[in-house]
Amino acid sequence: MSTAGEVIRCKAAVVWEPKKPFSIVEIEVAPPKAHEVRIKILAAGICHSDEHVLSDDLKATFPVILGHEAVGVVESVGEGVTSVKPGDKVIPLFIPQCEECRPCIHPRGNLCKLNGIETPLGLMPDGTSRFSYKGELVHNFVSTSTFTEYTVVHESSVAKIDASAPPEKACLIGCGFSTGYGAAINSAKVEPGSTCAVFGLGGVGLSAVMGCKAAGASRIIGINRSKERFPKAKELGATECVSPLDFEKPINEVLFDMTDGDGVDYSFEATGCTDTMAAALASCNRNHGISVMLGFSPALSKISFSPALILTGRTWKGCLFGGWKSKDAVPKLVLDFMQKKFTLDPLITHTMPFDKINEGFELLREGKSIRSVLVF
């Protein structure tokens, strides 16, 4: 493109400090260096993990450009890039896949050592940034930063997808959908005929419901305090839904009653609340039950539980990005979507222009949206 090798000036939503709204300003985006890719963003989803940064529950380095769930088109590439070229439609990857480090090579690993989650410095692998505002450095977020018209990512953090995929829908494969769906398919390995419970019926939880259904679970129990999500959950595969507010006893005891004292085979926690994590663990079968944590909890959260909960054989595990190896899995998931093996439409409640980003986050905080998608 004509802008290759040049600094691009474009609009971006910058957060200057925690607990402050986004400011849409004109930033400068430097050209990609070796093994880097500059992307023009077409659509970006609003994920609760971004809200956790705004509320200071998830650490980032400020000023920062958030966003990590998007579809874009490659504008230019740096020296040595071979996996994508200008004009390719792509999804940025907040969990990179360098294909060289131990987690990438291990058959069960996906937390590449180039990830920006464990050490949120907000910089490229070479220790610099491609974003600036009036000469001041602006940080990136988990290897991606998609709340901007243009972003730069390392080649390990981008995957080429089907050119015909609709950006305003396929962007959900960059985080929310893949996280919940993969938790059932990959992390838990839900078996046909099994009983599952999904705690939290937001975008990730509803995607877990879809994954349980795709895996052949015969009973899928959705748990949510508000009953407004129950019809959507049943549309996507839940066989029944319950609210903890309707019972005097703990919800894990309710689930044991509902399963004739057996507990569920698989439970999924998608709220980030530590009390809910403990309840999800306690709700699964004492011996062979598997409980998977999906939700991000505040940075200083702690959890305590009786060792007896796992001594009898329960498995308790966490899950990032659905356990998928990102560069390998994302193109295949997009193809599955294009072949109508699953739907994303029910998860998208609002579509709005990029400059309405603060309104989109307000809908999220008020519980009025499942996924809001920003279009550029």
Residue 68 designated active-site? yes
Q: What does the mean pLDDT of the chain come to?
A: 96
Structural domain boundaries of the chain? 177-322, 345-375
Percent of the chain topping pLDDT 90: 91
Integer-rounded Cα Rg, in Å, for the chain is: 20
pTM: 0.95
> Tell me: the pLDDT tens digits for 155-181?
999 999 999 999 999 999 999 999 999
> Tell me: the pLDDT tens digits for 186-223?
999 999 999 999 999 999 999 999 999 999 999 999 99
Pairing label, strands 136-138, 36-45 = unpaired
> Tell me: the pLDDT tens digits for 240-267?
999 999 999 999 999 999 999 999 999 9
The neighbour count for residue 9, using CB atoms within 10 Å, is 11
Mean pLDDT of 372-376: 98
- pLDDT for 299 beyond 80: no
Of the candidates 94, 92, 9, the one whose C-alpha atom is nearest the C-alpha of residue 43 is 92
Q: 104, 112, 171, 175: which is the annotated catalytic residue? A: 175
Predicted pLDDT of residue 6: 96
Mean pLDDT of 114-140: 93
Phi-psi domain of 369 (left: phi exceeds 0; alpha: psi -120 through 50; beta: other):
beta
- pLDDT for 32 beyond 90: yes
Mean pLDDT of 348-353: 98
Residue 49 designated active-site? yes
- pLDDT for 117 beyond 90: no
Are the C-beta atoms of 167 and 71 separated by less than 8 Å? yes
Are the C-beta atoms of 174 and 147 separated by less than 8 Å? no
Helix, coil or strand: residue 13 = strand
Alpha helices (H) along the chain: 48-54, 102-105, 167-170, 176-182, 203-214, 230-236, 251-258, 274-283, 308-311, 326-338, 357-365
- pLDDT for 59 beyond 90: no
Helix, strand and coil in the chain, % to nearest 5:
30, 25, 45
Residue 319 designated active-site? no
Q: 68, 104, 157, 267: which is the annotated catalytic residue? A: 68
> Tell me: the pLDDT tens digits for 313-322?
999 999 999 9
> Phi and psi (nearest 5°) for 12?
-145, 150
Q: 49, 156, 267, 297: which is the annotated catalytic residue? A: 49
Residue 164 designated active-site? no
Mean pLDDT of 45-62: 92
Residues in contact with 370: Cβ distance below 8 Å, sequence separation at least 6, in sequence order? 202, 203, 206, 229, 232, 346, 347, 348, 349
Lowest mean pLDDT among 33-37, 52-56, 99-103: 52-56
Are the C-beta atoms of 128 and 135 separated by less than 8 Å? no
Residue 288 designated active-site? no
Are the C-beta atoms of 136 and 28 separated by less than 8 Å? no
CATH H superfamily, domain 177-322: NAD(P)-binding Rossmann-like Domain (3.40.50.720)
Predicted pLDDT of residue 193: 98
Q: Could you tell me how many helices (H) and strands (E) the chain has, helices first?
A: 11, 18
Q: 48, 52, 139, 154: which is the annotated catalytic residue? A: 52
- pLDDT for 1 beyond 80: no
Cα dihedral 149/81/113/53 (nearest 10)? 0
- Helices 274-283/251-258 angle, 10° precision: 20
How many angstroms separate the CA atoms of 266 and 217, rounded? 10
Predicted pLDDT of residue 120: 83
